[in-house]
Structure 1
Amino acid sequence: MLIRLLTCSALLLATVSAPAAADAPPSDPARAELRSIVENVSGATGKRYAVHDDAGHVMDTVKIIQDATGGYLAVSHHLAADGHFRVNLATSTDLLNWHWVRELAGSNTGPASQPTIAQASNGGFVMAWEQEQPGGGNNHLAFRYFASRTDLLAGQVTRSFDAPRQLSSCAEGTPNIYGITLAPDIDHSTIDIGGHYWWNCDRDRQQRGQLTNFSSWSTAAQPNYDNALLYWGVGGNIGDRDQAVFRGCSFGLIEGQFTKGDFGSWRMFVYDYQTGNADQTTIRTDGGSTAFANPTVTALNAPNGQPAILVSLFIPSQGAAAGESGELIYYQTY
């Protein structure tokens, strides 16, 4: 039991001093514990199905982060009446009830979806999403920088960058932010980004790139990440992912579609950045939903102040139990 409380670095030292445990990767106990949290929706500390904000927007593909001033911030998308996706910003004090603040992308940029957000060390915010041209198509990664919380809530953009596609002639998208390094400011920065590209214009596969000085973009395919899911027999898309540090170890939560075109075949995997391996999850909801997509995972403090892991998943109607389709938010304290 004690080993489950150690960090990856502590576990590595323990492995060096204890040859009998040398065959077990140091991240194994933490990955197993995280997987048990991800799987146990019905026993979560807090949860909400079919999440909407107080203005009535669905909060699909929501990414939630801690608000340094108290409470929480979230970006998500909804399908507007004109048939275009739009990105919204919302705030909360309890992780389950959300107050709509404003639209951040979609009306003026063309369809915008799959947003993510992270705060930099200087208090600014980097947001990324999947951008389409106004008439549809040309899916690519878009980035915006807000210099402060006040600017974010006002929708005041300081820096903008749209990344040209490099790995697919058809589409690239579903970003997550691994890290932001300022040296010392956003104009001298490195932002580490994950995403997918439409491999051969046929199936989604993984990429990882760098946005440098908010003015240049480079990226590369991540075949080893793909292989971790292909091992399990995933035959369709390998798409959206997110990353968090838990027990001192880095883990991802990623979607894999077993059958191309079948929304009911989406499943979740916990990816171990230390070993390059992935575990398939068996997620248990209250009603017994079976399909899950568009994950995010965030390590934060729960409303009661305890450390917690927060997960959001989209439950497609093809695999949803009654009353559970749409966006799911749940968290577990530990």
Structure 2
Amino acid sequence: MIKKYNIAVIGATGNVGRETLNILAERNVPINKIHAIASDNSLGRKVSFGEKILQINSLKNLDFRGLDIAFFCASSEVSKEFIPKATANNCIVIDKSSLFRVDNQVPLIVPEVNLSTLKEFNTKNIIANPNCIVIPLAVALKPLDNEIKIKRVVISTYQSVSGAGKTGMDELYDQTKSQYVFRENDPKKFPKQIAFNLFPHIGDLNKDGYTSEEAKIAFELNKIIGNHFKASVTSVRVPVFIGHAISVNIEFSNKIDANIAKEILEDADGIITISNNNDLAYISPVEVVGEDAVYVSRIRDDFSRPNTLNLWITCDNLRKGAALNSVQIAEELISTYL
């Protein structure tokens, strides 16, 4: 008989929480009981889980005893308050917030890249899910780095508003409507107008001119892939609802060209490559919505610098960039460790 597990999704009414429930149902994870958890503000609401409808229950009243796995899909503040209560009751936590990503005792996992480090989870009973840009970046960069070591990367990200939660999506929607009727709609969630606009400002600006998002991306990439290369990052918020895109310039330690890179990426797990065989041979954010793969297109040599390539990467930030990655972690926990 297949063992089944008691699982909770905290933040079940948010973008990532809802997608986590969807993917748990889609992939037939062996679940005995599923708990949809949110703040008291969401009490009375219902969410879908496959063909079932779940009633939202309060996080404050959640008893972690008897739970096997808890997906935390909420803020760092929520994680800070409630994860210690979960782990104190032997519940394994997969945390989507940034709280534990810098903790050396907490594995930061992308299953296609560094699954072997998952065994370290039992130090604290916590696994950190990486940043939604870092996941597709790591999936694309690691197989190349395995063949020829990366020396330096220059990254420009184009991040959709769903990365800022439902309130970010609502703000883009409301501002777009307001533009058509010539009505002012001042920014609330974002620092500037997002409708028909973009800006290089995600997170807080620090004293060296980088944002907290840019610093997170550089740090997490090194933690997942290795510290042998440097990353320079510019993160841009764009007026797209779902789907992140990334332009990457990669300098390698030895000779490589676009054809070699394409062969490597074609053999890698979790990646779909697109050949440069016509004018539309690239994938845009809107085309990856609902997709599980990381798409890599516009693979080309950088003629300005030796041993250097350019890539265009796109990914559904709510699925592989967040929920799917965490469910894959849970699947490995279940199959190997529980």
- Normalised by the length of structure 2, the TM-score is 0.27
Q: Which structure: larger Rg? A: 2
- Normalised by the length of structure 1, the TM-score is 0.28
Greater per-residue strand proportion: 1
Greater per-residue helix proportion: 2
